[in-house]
Each structure stands twice: as structure tokens, then as C-alpha cells.
């Protein structure tokens, strides 16, 4: 088999189809209770990330170069903080495992990470694929964080409960109102919104080594540009503290342009100074009511949460979200991977 770069800017339709077939098959193996991402959405996600997200891909082909047997992916964010961090994943078809292909696919990852000064890498394992955690253990990984993918089937939503949450929050949080907008964020509120995004630095990090993120208008505008290129819509809803005009909390929902049955619940956070007043439930309920009203084609909402984020998990479970996958996330010093590759 041969391993070669997979350049999203130049690959053919057939190569895209082969890449998607492999990734979708691995997703189906790992999370059988979820629909694989459609080809068009897969291409859009890979090709049209924010320009400060740098991605590199490699593919392992069979001898006839007809079937993709494995892929590796490396990415990092060009931002003011966390200049040493990078993320990767390696996927190998079941019939090609236990032949050293995973380690071979790591070779270009290690080389690229070194060139860009990324010395601490992270990757997640999926329990549906038994080889994942032993592979990360074997290259010097340390379990740092447990993430969960939670899914909400729209048909199971209790509309009465959503309306009740909204009504109760209006009484309990009388000093607040909800105000929403669709991306792009209006210029007259972008500075206050960027300031509010620092709320997400209060989310649980568990044992993950990471610096607090510094949010900027430039980063937001790059994200918005990538959504436009992907033909995705993003909705924001904020809780405004009337006496000060401050954003006390917000929630984000993204609707993929090539996957009309799916929505992604992104960040939801409430400033610690404004918690315990029902703002999180109010924001989530109001956003879901809009989704049901305006996007009836959406059948499932998925979201990622820290396994230790009990307050958010409680809200999600009450809404009807259920865990469809856990993602044990490991951090691995680059030199540990280098040493493992050298020991073969």
C-alpha cells in the first residue's frame, strides 16, 4: 500500500468519494446509532474551515489505488494562545488493522507537527473501536478529558416543557431579556459578544493541558466566512442583563448546508455572576422552539459536552438528549510518538 498526501484543493471527485467512504464506515462502526455525514457535507467541512484552522491529510491506498485503507489528519489553530497544541486522528479499516498501518500514518503527522512547533498533541478514542485506546496508550498518551456526543431526536421533544421553561425563566429572571441574531454578528454588537465568549473558558477542562482562549473579532469573522463557504447557517441567542446591557449568557446553533436533517448545538454558556436563574434552560428552550418552527426538516440535534459538566448535562438530559458516544481524549507529547516510531 502507499501513503500520500490528500490535498482537498486538488483531489478528484473519485478520491473524495473514497475518503468519505472510509470515514463514514469508521463512523458507522464507532457510533452505529447515528447517520454518517453526507458526502457533500464531509467535503464542505474539510475544505472550508476557518483560515486560521490549518489542516493536513494523508491517505493509505491499496496496491491498485482503488480503495482507501486508512487516513490520518492533523490540525492546529493559528491563535495567540496554545501555540504548542495540535490535534490528530488516525482511521484504519478493520481488515487493515494490526499491520502497523496506524503507526505509518502517524509518520507525516509527527513530521508536520514538528515543522509547525506543535509539541503536545491530542487525539480521542471511540469505545466502539476497541483498538483506539490501546493505540493511544502505546504511543505515550495520557487520558486527559472525556467528552460525550449527545443526540436529541426532534420528534421526542416535549413542547409543553419547552414553553414552561421559557415562561418560568421570564418570571425568575425578570432583569433579563433574550436577543438573537443570525451570523454574521452585527458590527454594533460584535465587541460585546466577543467579550461574552470568554464565558466558555469556565467550562470544565478536566486534566486537559490548555491555556484559556483569547477571543477576537478577526477569529469570529473567519468562522463566519467558513460557514458561508459551507452554506451553513448559524443562529445566536443571548441573555441580556437589562440593568447593565451585558451579555450574561448565550447559545449557538449551526445548521449544515448539505445536511438538512441535522443541527449542531454549539457553545452554551452563562457567566458565573448570572447563574442559578434559569438562563441556560431559557436559552436552550427558546432556541429549540425556533428550530422546530423554522426548520421542520431537522430530525436530530447533536452536541458535545464534557463528561464532567454536570449542570449542562442535566439540562440536556431533561431536554431529551442521550449519549450516543463517549470520546476519551488523550494528550501525547510529540517526543513520545517520535520515540515509539523509532522503536519499531
Q: Where are the domains of the chain?
A: 2-145+331-342, 158-319
Residue 89 has, within 13 A of its CA and on its CB side, a CA count of: 13
Residues 48-87 as b/e (b if ≥16 CB within 10 A, e otherwise) read bbbeeebebbbbbbeeeeeebbbbbbbbbbebeebebbbb
The pLDDT score that the predictor gives to residue 128 is 85
pLDDT in tens, 115-141: 999 999 999 998 889 889 999 999 999
> What mean pLDDT is predicted for residues 301-312?
93
Q: Do domains 2-145+331-342 and 158-319 have the same CATH topology?
A: yes
For residue 265, the surrounding DSSP H or E stretch is strand 262-270
Surface-to-core class of residue 287, CB atoms within 10 Å of its CB (0-12 exposed, 13-18 middle, 19+ buried): buried
Beta bridge partners of 86: 121
CATH number of 158-319: 3.40.630.30
Question: How many residues are present in the chain?
Answer: 344
0.85 exceeded by the pTM?
yes
Considering the chain, what percentage of its residues have pLDDT values greater than 90? Answer: 94
Q: What is the pLDDT of residue 130?
A: 86
- Assign a CATH topology to domain 2-145+331-342: Aminopeptidase (3.40.630)
- For residue 252, what pLDDT is reported? 98
* 3-state DSSP assignment of residue 302: strand
Distance CA 159, CA 179 (A): 21
Sign of the dihedral through C-alpha 140, 29, 344, 120: negative
Peptide bond into 13 cis (omega under 30): no
Over the stretch 251-287, which tens digit does the pLDDT of each residue have?
999 999 999 999 999 999 999 999 999 999 999 999 9
Amino acid at each position: 500500500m502507499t501513503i500520500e498526501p490528500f490535498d482537498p484543493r486538488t483531489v478528484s471527485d473519485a478520491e473524495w468519494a473514497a475518503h468519505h467512504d472510509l470515514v463514514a464506515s469508521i463512523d458507522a462502526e464507532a457510533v452505529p446509532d447515528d447517520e454518517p455525514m453526507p458526502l457533500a457535507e464531509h467535503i464542505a467541512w474539510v475544505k472550508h474551515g476557518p483560515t486560521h484552522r490549518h489542516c493536513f491529510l494523508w491517505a493509505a491506498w491499496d496496491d491498485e489505488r482503488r480503495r482507501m485503507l486508512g487516513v490520518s489528519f492533523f490540525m492546529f489553530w493559528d491563535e495567540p494562545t496554545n501555540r504548542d497544541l495540535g490535534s490528530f486522528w488516525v482511521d484504519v479499516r478493520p481488515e487493515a488493522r494490526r499491520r502497523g498501518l496506524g503507526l505509518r500514518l502517524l509518520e507525516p503527522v509527527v513530521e508536520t507537527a514538528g515543522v509547525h512547533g506543535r509539541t503536545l498533541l491530542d487525539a480521542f478514542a471511540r469505545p466502539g473501536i476497541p483498538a483506539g485506546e490501546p493505540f493511544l496508550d502505546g504511543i505515550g498518551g495520557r487520558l486527559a478529558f472525556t467528552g460525550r456526543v449527545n443526540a436529541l431526536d426532534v420528534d421526542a421533544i416535549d413542547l409543553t416543557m419547552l414553553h414552561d421553561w421559557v415562561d418560568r425563566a421570564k418570571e425568575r429572571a425578570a432583569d433579563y431579556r433574550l436577543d438573537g441574531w443570525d451570523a454574521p454578528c452585527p458590527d454594533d454588537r460584535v465587541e460585546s459578544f466577543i467579550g461574552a465568549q470568554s464565558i466558555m473558558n469556565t467550562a470544565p477542562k478536566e486534566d486537559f493541558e490548555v491555556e484559556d482562549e483569547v477571543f477576537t473579532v478577526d477569529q469570529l469573522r473567519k468562522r463566519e466566512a467558513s460557514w458561508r463557504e459551507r452554506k451553513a447557517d448559524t443562529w445566536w441567542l443571548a441573555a441580556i442583563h437589562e440593568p447593565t446591557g451585558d451579555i450574561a449568557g448565550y447559545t449557538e446553533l449551526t445548521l449544515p448546508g448539505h445536511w438538512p436533517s441535522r443541527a449542531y448545538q454549539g457553545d452554551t454558556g452563562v457567566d458565573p455572576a448570572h447563574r442559578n436563574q434559569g438562563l441556560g434552560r431559557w436559552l436552550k428552550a427558546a432556541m429549540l422552539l425556533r428550530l422546530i418552527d423554522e426548520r421542520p426538516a431537522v430530525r436530530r440535534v447533536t452536541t458535545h459536552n464534557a463528561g464532567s459538566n454536570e449542570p449542562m448535562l442535566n439540562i440536556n438530559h431533561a431536554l431529551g438528549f442521550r449519549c450516543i458516544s463517549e470520546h476519551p481524549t488523550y494528550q501525547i507529547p510529540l517526543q513520545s510518538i517520535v520515540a515509539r516510531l523509532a522503536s519499531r
